[in-house]
Structure 1
Amino acid sequence: MNKEQFLKQLEASLKRLSLEERQDILQDYEEYFAIGIDKGKSEQEISASLGNPRQIAKELLASYHLQQVEQTTSAGNIIRAVWAVIGLGFFNLVIVLGPLIALLGLVFSGWVMSVAFILAPFGILINLFIGEFRLFDLFASIGLCGIGIFIAMGMYVATKALFKGFVRYMKFNVSLVKGGLKHG
């Protein structure tokens, strides 16, 4: 594959990025070709040494989406980053999606538990209507509400830390796919 074919495939694969981002990336690869030609290599040798432009685009898109998550952590950015990392290879479906589902289950259950504890005093209202009000139930529900507030505070911190850790895990996965771990 010559330089023009390589750059066209790369540009087509990067169409989800902004025009400015694409131009920067394409300019970098044009420089790779210029340096290679100066060293006496042919365009085919350079393109072969760079690899498949579609795979390069997948790696660049995954890195780009992970950067977006670090700048603005939102559900949309996390989902785009997860799918970009999964797109790097079929094996990543298990390696990335499995931990994500476990993480979401853990976070969801923690938040549900905190909300249920916080809403425990409303159970006293039900007891009032039924006619089975006991003073112990009132104090127990107030205690559960306090525990729920502490759990919610802990879940807030834990949620942020878990998602930051998951982003680091995906970055590690991307670096592994890009070329393995560098032993230095």
Structure 2
Amino acid sequence: MNKEHFLIELKIYLKPLSYQQQALILEKYETIFEERLATGETEEAIAKELGKPRTIAEEILQEFDIDVPEKQLGRDGWQEFHPEKEAEYNVTDFDEHNPYDEQYRIYERPRHSPFVRFCQIAGILALNFFMMIWVFFGILMGFLGVWIAAIACLLSPIIGGYAVIAGYNDGSMFQLFLSIFLFGGSIIALLILKPLTAWFLRILKHYFVWNISVLRGDV
């Protein structure tokens, strides 16, 4: 079962809940998938470890004291909820505190005075122009240079082998061994560079999103 099938089936079994509650729960499990996919796990492995969507939904519905009667699944594995029977599962009939509604909030953008907005915009533009843009540019160029050097060293055995074929002597053999050494070093460098580059790009993305939030007045 992949991510899409898992979330669809979970949504079906969460039918007795309100749309807001369903959205919050589905968002939680979608975040779990995204975080674990980023670590290299497959969708099938994540879904298997999380368990069956029906079992997860039953545990969630128990928090609302909702008993879902057993129903026969179709041959395709889906369970159908009939509209005329949805009323008996309506969670709005319960007076108990709803833990999911407590977390579901409509975001309201803060209201700032024109002076504060001016300071925010001027500050973020000055910070980027005089400092951050050059810092990120320097780091980016550094990563680019190291990537190019690592890839060039990865191809060095070709040059070393050609030198031996062109003329076998001590110099060509030294060049061959040096190229093999550089090849091994480039593999290690690439293994280190890949996560470092991904980490830097994530930071750059978060910083960019924060800049947009400041310019829009969301913070």
TM-score by length of 1: 0.43
> When you count helix as a share of all residues, which structure comes out higher?
1
